[in-house]
Structure 1
Amino acid sequence: MTVIPIKTHRELLDSREPGQGMPGDLFGRQDVFETDMDVFFHKRWILVAVTADVPEPGDVYAIDIGKASVLIVRDDDENIRAFRNVCRHRGSRLVKNAGKVSVGMLVCPYHQWTYDLDGSLRHATHMGKEFDKDCKSLIPVHVKVVGAHVFVCLADEAPEDIAKLEAAMTPRFAPHEMQRTKIAYEMDIVENGNWKLVMENNRECYHCGGTHPELTQSFLAHDFGFCPDGQSEESLADYEQYLANNAARKEEWEKDGYICELVESLDESVETNFRSQRLVIAGAGESQTMDTKVASTKLLGNLQRRDLGDVHMWGHHSWTHVMSDHAVIAYAIPLAPDKTRVRTIWLVNEDAVEGVDYDLKKLTEVWIATTTQDAELVGNTHSGTQDPGYVPGPYSKYTEDALEQFARWYDARIKASGV
């Protein structure tokens, strides 16, 4: 009987041909999943919450990331802090279930050790006079707030290049005053696929025309990519007009102080992978809705213009769309090689009133439909990659170049970790 040796993680990476998809074992194996969790979710900056998850002092949002659990806390001075969800006594979870709670202090349910919202230990009975409670504060986690996004890093030393993301995105988000928002709706879905397939699906719109009829109401057809080979003169002229119209709109926005310049940090050398641009919205040009008009008449911040396009940002496990009237923020947290939690959040002006300023169905229907459709696409693709007959195929250089960039970055980060 011939025994086929199992390839190592590095050998799997090296077996990928440039310009082609990843081997199926990179999506399905438990050892690869565990390495991914360590490298991409415990040592990189990751998006775990929005500021509206903890709007008031004493609000706590707990999130599980593999074996780790993190508390996002709004303290008494209204600062956002992050701590390990581990009591300094014998390790009990302080908050037992993921999600939101409101507390005066953080009290361990086991022996009632009690912590202030700044993480300091306030009470620990029966520990004796030699016990120094100042040495038993909660373990802090690196935290960075950019716009409404709450990023954390679980590593002892966090990658410093988050500063590039912060410098790029702070002025882009500033007109929208994203910390003056509230959650109008949120959706949690578990997709039956590997987190890398979730992100590959998000980073290309090659599939959009045939699978996302709701989303494509607000997307320009050429945003999906364009291959000039074999196109008619009319099609080529139409594409040139698309480029000219985009350039004119962005020049107008820039004159009014709205940043449009593409910024990206995607190559193999970076730690913090992100990209942002301001996209032109089709139709009425206002928002990602079925009629492409705003879903909320109370715009974000003090904006007066409705036609400000879509400030789009992606990270290595998240994506964001910010329009004049609302924002959609989503992130993926791996649960298993074939299970990924995707949380999607819809933000509106903190003063907007449902049924008065916005219609919830109009606000959410595009991305509820799109997320549900994507879950099916990811599950179907994951299943196919685990078939013994699967052979990785080529990426389209016109519509899937971002997938090749992601694959190269993934390869480089894994190998830099020493795997």
Structure 2
Amino acid sequence: MNPATPTAAVGDLVTRRLVGHSLEAPFYVSEELFGLDVEAVFARHWIFVATEAEVPEPGDYVTVTLGPYSVIIVRDDDEDVRAFHNVCRHRGARILNEERGSVGNIVCGYHHWTYGVDGKLLHAESQAPDFDRSCFGLRSVHVRTVAGLVYICLAAEPPADFDEIITRVEPYLAPHNLARAKVATQIDLIENANWKLTLENNRECYHCTGHPELQACYFPIYGYQEQDVPAVLRPTYERFLRADADARATYEELGLPYATIEELDTRPTGFRIQREPLDGAGESYTADGTAACKRLLADFPTARLGRLSFHTQPNAWFHLMADHAITFSAIPLGPDRTLVRTTWLVHADAVEGVDYDLDTLTKVWKATNVQDAVFVERAQRGVSSPAYVPGPYAPTEAQVEAFVNWYVTRLEAHLEQQR
């Protein structure tokens, strides 16, 4: 398949997408469709980019790249999280060139225009007498924090449903105290695959036999309806039902919301949230399910809270336990390259080597991420073959279908606006 897809063909590809089947090859290999993904999806929707724990103090910043866009995420002097285009208002130079750091002011290294961490232009040497600094502050980007998670939207008018979603999910997330957590570690992994293959892989457990470390503490029945559970998983499923009954009793006693909310492809900001048990000791993502950090994220009376799982279209998923939390983001780098960033959060006062061992904390998901990178690279190679034709999703892949349907719906909406 030629990586260049004629513009006239894009609408046809979208229109003829077969429900319940994987996408046609150009969606995964075409340079033009990759550009459309950035324009129609990543530049128009709410994108998870960081945690508040990554910018704990005023002046702390991270930068994120979304296609041609570079964005600065910074905590200002009032301790609010702000976002700005990483473009100097003088002649457009890139201002901050590191992925993260700390600044007193934001200074362009080209002609030294200087901005406050609130984006205001403070200094521009040798300007005309009538130069008005107030007209040349950094261009802001919409930013919202959701119980310690930082989302941005590049669109002039972001999807309006995000405020409602925040109201609904914050009661689930807030008890874990992420806004006051700290980063234990962060690992970047480049997957040699289209970002959609990364997300499709994440949205199903049909392949979970390929994750032995994960299966030691995780019930690999994600996506299965009771009638579809195969015989080999039936003992695991029965064990899950017992653990789930115990977990629900605990959640109700502690006043923790746990009911599943799943609105993945019926709105601009698709999302899913659910609290359910883990296997083994039921406390954390470790080899035996015991807590990886002695210092819990909050004043929970027990570590046996299983996992709170949350994900948002198009690029993020999260696991929150009593002892730590893990955030994942997928950032497209090219038609066949995706950055997967994984961040482990612990209590702000937890001490490495005393309260937690970093290898124990990260072992399960480090292994799982590497295994997933192999799977999606194989998928990318397969869809790049002239022999590839879209195949049907299994019932356990319903959330893959929901993701793909959301994606196609967003492309359709964008293309309609362009007509």
TM-score by length of structure 1 reads 0.94
Hey, what does 1:62 align to over in structure 2? 63
Return closer, same or farther for 1:257/1:284 CA change in 2, 3 Å cut-off: same
Shift of 1:165: 2.4
Shift of 1:224: 5.3
5+ unaligned residues in a row in structure 2: which ranges? none
RMSD between aligned residues: 2.0
How far, CA to CA, are the matches of 2:260 and 2:333 in structure 1? 32
- State the identity %: 43
Note the alpha carbon deviations across 1:309-357, whole angstroms, 9 max, x for none: 1110111211100000111101011011000011110001010000000
Return closer, same or farther for 1:231/1:44 CA change in 2, 3 Å cut-off: closer
How far, CA to CA, are the matches of 2:353 and 2:40 in structure 1? 44
Return closer, same or farther for 1:230/1:52 CA change in 2, 3 Å cut-off: closer
How far, CA to CA, are the matches of 2:348 and 2:238 in structure 1? 41
TM-score by length of structure 2 reads 0.94
Asked whether the 8 Å contact 1:285–1:292 carries over to 2, the reply is: yes
Hey, what does 1:126 align to over in structure 2? 126
Shift of 1:245: 4.5
Note the alpha carbon deviations across 1:66-114, whole angstroms, 9 max, x for none: 11000011111111100010111110111023x1111100011111111
SS at match of 1:179: helix
Q: 306, 310, 315: which one pairs with 2:303?
A: 306
Hey, what does 1:168 align to over in structure 2? 168
Hey, what does 2:151 align to over in structure 1? 151
How far, CA to CA, are the matches of 2:380 and 2:285 in structure 1? 28
Return closer, same or farther for 1:107/1:239 CA change in 2, 3 Å cut-off: closer
How far, CA to CA, are the matches of 1:415 and 1:356 in structure 2? 53
How far, CA to CA, are the matches of 1:217 and 1:366 in structure 2? 9
> What amino acid is aligned across from residue 202 of structure 1 in structure 2?
N
How far, CA to CA, are the matches of 1:371 and 1:229 in structure 2? 27
Shift of 1:256: 1.6
Note the alpha carbon deviations across 1:253-274, whole angstroms, 9 max, x for none: 1232111011122124x11111
> Within 5 A, what are the aligned runs for 1:206-225?
206-209=206-209, 211-223=210-222, 225=224
How far, CA to CA, are the matches of 1:230 and 1:302 in structure 2? 37
How far, CA to CA, are the matches of 2:385 and 2:111 in structure 1? 50
Q: 321, 324, 327: which one pairs with 1:323?
A: 321
How far, CA to CA, are the matches of 2:302 and 2:354 in structure 1? 19
SS at match of 1:159: coil
Q: 287, 297, 310: which one pairs with 2:294?
A: 297
Return closer, same or farther for 1:157/1:24 CA change in 2, 3 Å cut-off: same
Shift of 1:160: 1.2
Return closer, same or farther for 1:362/1:116 CA change in 2, 3 Å cut-off: same
> What amino acid is aligned across from residue 273 of structure 1 in structure 2?
G
Hey, what does 1:413 align to over in structure 2? 410
1:139 equivalent to 2:136? Answer no
Asked whether the 8 Å contact 1:295–1:358 carries over to 2, the reply is: yes
SS at match of 2:165: helix
Hey, what does 1:26 align to over in structure 2? 27
Shift of 1:250: 1.5
Hey, what does 1:105 align to over in structure 2? 105
> Within 5 A, what are the aligned runs for 1:179-190?
179-190=179-190
SS at match of 2:212: coil
Q: 339, 348, 351: which one pairs with 2:349?
A: 351
Hey, what does 2:391 align to over in structure 1? 393
Return closer, same or farther for 1:118/1:24 CA change in 2, 3 Å cut-off: same
Which 10-residue stretch deviates more, 190-199 or 250-259? Answer: 250-259
Asked whether the 8 Å contact 2:28–2:196 carries over to 1, the reply is: yes
Shift of 1:403: 1.0
> What amino acid is aligned across from residue 132 of structure 2 in structure 1?
D
How far, CA to CA, are the matches of 2:56 and 2:341 in structure 1? 18
Q: 281, 287, 290: which one pairs with 2:284?
A: 287
How far, CA to CA, are the matches of 2:156 and 2:7 in structure 1? 33
How far, CA to CA, are the matches of 1:128 and 1:179 in structure 2? 44
